[in-house]
Structures are given as C-alpha cells and as structure tokens.
Chains A and B, each alone.
Chain A
Amino acid sequence: DTGVSQDPRHKITKRGQNVTFRCDPISEHNRLYWYRQTLGQGPEFLTYFQNEAQLEKSRLLSDRFSAERPKGSFSTLEIQRTEQGDSAMYLCASSFRGFSTNEKLFFGSGTQLSVL
C-alpha cells in the first residue's frame, strides 16, 4: 500500500494550453474523487468515480474539464484551454466503499497548477 499518488506535483502552463493530471489510487479502492482547492479555502468537490463509471459531477466542472478512469484503475483529469482562474491545487482521493459507508477518504499530495 503506497498511498494515493498524483503526478505531476507542480504544473506551470500558459493560458490557453491543455493540461492533464494523473491519479493512482490505493490499489484495492474502487471509489475515486477529484477535488480542487484554492488558497485559504477548503477543497471543493469536482467529480466521483465508482470503478470506471463517473457517477457524480459538480457544476464547478465546466465543459473544459474532463475526467476519466479507464478500467477502474488510475484516473486522469484534463483541463482544456486553461484560464488563470483554474490555478489551484487539484487533489485526488480514494476509498474502498466510500465516505457514505463511514470509511475514511485517503488523499494524494495534489497537483499544484499555475496558469500564467
């Protein structure tokens, strides 16, 4: 059990470019979550996967954002045509049966995105 891994740790990009982040959850966890956190704020829910199915999406997730979890293992979050307002820490979390079943969420270290 190596914990939740996120790659890259930091990403600097120019406005208008596309970026992709990767999350590798704990191996036996079939629930995977993406959150976004800006400075001084708590994380905000973006989307949730159960295995390969994306079951919930926040209204925060505009058409420029897309997330996938092929084969129910790792997940990717892509942001197209980045804007300066996308600058934030993007956090991935996983759990075995989900927060609603009174299980803890395990977070990765996050990807810090800076859009210039």
Chain B
Amino acid sequence: DAGVTQSPTHLIKTRGQQVTLRCSPKSGHDTVSWYQQALGQGPQFIFQYYEEEERQRGNFPDRFSGHQFPNYSSELNVNALLLGDSALYLCASSPGTGGYGYTFGSGTRLTVV
C-alpha cells in the first residue's frame, strides 16, 4: 500500500521563477495538506485541500497557491520565488472525516538561489 508520494525530491530554482510541487495521497485518503519547513524549524501550515477546494489556509501570501485533482492528488505552486522560500515542503494526506490519520510524504527540498 503506497504512502504519500511527493515529486520531485529536490529542486533548485532562481529567484523570481515559479515552481510546482506534486503530491499523491495515501490510498483511501481524500484530503491533502501542505506544510513548509524551514531549516531547523517546525513545519508551518500552508493550506489544506478537500473536495478540490481550499478548505483552510495558513499565513502565507498569495504567491502560494494550490490545486487538488479529482483523483485527490495535489499541486503546490509558488510564484515569484524568494530566497526565503527555500525549505522542505511536506505534503500530508488524511481521511476527509478528520481524526488523526495524517500521513506525510518525504518532502520536496526546494533551494532558491
């Protein structure tokens, strides 16, 4: 049973560019959340998608946007990249009914130069 799959694993981008990160949830999960984890810190919630809609958003600028597809997979898009966007981006999937069944992927490490 596949867990959460994220791609790519590593990415290097230049300031001002745009990036798209992808996430496939665990089988049976229909909700996807995205987190940003800067080096040496705990993760920060970006947003959560459920039924192809953004259900909740954290304190991130509009440069961060997302999408969820009918097969529950999700994308995170970041426009106009800043050096401060360099981080590990984690995707977590869970059942739509909530509870505590969060399963995380291994993350995408984004470096902005």
Q: Say if A and B assemble together.
A: no
